[in-house]
């Protein structure tokens, strides 16, 4: 569970405040983006969990520590990993950094309870537990990197 999943984003103008700095509320949205992409990389989506298995990941706790500002047009990396999977909860950890100068901008975590559609806490279906705890699979490319097909 030590492997980080990385998601790249570019700061949009609408995400900045009057001072030209990214508004603090966007970091939790970016955490969600990183979390969703990590799940997709592990072979499932939130939608699949909800529609096929009546399992919803409800945010029970969130934490973000802001370390340095981000600005419009910055390219950022959201690093996400699974910290803990228990019978009814999942904890994710995040880092957001700017690769152009190596600055760590924020770090945080979220705790999710798994519920059914009636908001009753339930066991996490084994399939999702297994996928979250599994080692990420390397991305398969149809052609070697930087090489067009002949």
Mean pLDDT score of the chain: 91
* Geometric angle at alpha carbon 69, from 95 and 108, rounded to 5°: 25
**Structural domain includes residue 16:** yes
Res. 141: pLDDT tops 60: no
**Percent of the chain surpassing pLDDT 70:** 88
Res. 123: pLDDT tops 70: yes
Res. 1: pLDDT tops 50: no
What residues have CB less than 8 Å from 96, skipping those under 6 apart?
A: 27, 30, 70, 76, 77, 78, 79, 104, 105, 106, 107
- Which pLDDT score is estimated for 134? 85
- Which pLDDT score is estimated for 47? 94
**Structural domain includes residue 119:** yes
Q: In 3D, which of 88, 94, 132 has the Cα closest to residue 110? A: 94
**95: pLDDT confidence band, cut at 50, 70 and 90?**
very high
- Which pLDDT score is estimated for 50? 95
Distance CA 96, CA 17 (A): 19
**Structural domain includes residue 112:** yes
- Which pLDDT score is estimated for 138? 56
Count the Cβ atoms, other than its own, within 10 Å of residue 139: 6
**149: pLDDT confidence band, cut at 50, 70 and 90?**
low
Query: Mean pLDDT across the stretch 52-76?
Result: 97
Distance CA 49, CA 56 (A): 7
3-29 pLDDT, tens digit each: 899 999 999 999 999 889 999 999 999
For the annotated catalytic residues, the residue numbers are: 17
Q: Which residue has the higher pLDDT, 91 or 135?
A: 91
- Give me the CATH number covering residue 10: 3.10.129.10
**Structural domain includes residue 80:** yes
**Structural domain includes residue 145:** no
**Structural domain includes residue 55:** yes
Q: What's the domain count of the chain?
A: 1
**Structural domain includes residue 84:** yes
Query: Mean pLDDT across the stretch 51-67?
Result: 97
DSSP 8-state symbol, 52: H
State the residue range of the domain holding 123.
5-133
**131: pLDDT confidence band, cut at 50, 70 and 90?**
very high
Q: In 3D, which of 23, 135, 112, 125 has the Cα closest to residue 62? A: 112
**Structural domain includes residue 138:** no
């Amino acid at each position: 569970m030590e492997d980080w999943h990385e998601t790249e984003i570019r700061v949009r103008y609408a995400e900045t405040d009057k001072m030209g700095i990214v508004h603090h509320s966007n970091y939790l949205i970016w955490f969600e983006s990183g979390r969703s992409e990590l799940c997709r990389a592990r072979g499932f989506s939130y939608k699949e969990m909800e529609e096929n298995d009546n399992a919803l990941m409800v945010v029970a706790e969130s934490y973000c520590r802001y370390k340095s500002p981000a600005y419009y047009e910055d390219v950022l990396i959201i690093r996400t990993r699974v910290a803990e999977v228990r019978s009814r909860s999942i904890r994710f950890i995040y880092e957001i950094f700017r690769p152009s100068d190596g600055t760590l901008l924020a770090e945080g975590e979220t705790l999710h309870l798994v519920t059914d559609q009636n908001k009753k806490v339930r066991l996490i279906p084994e399939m999702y537990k297994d996928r979250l705890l599994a080692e990420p699979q390397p991305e398969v490319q149809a052609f070697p990197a930087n090489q067009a097909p002949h």
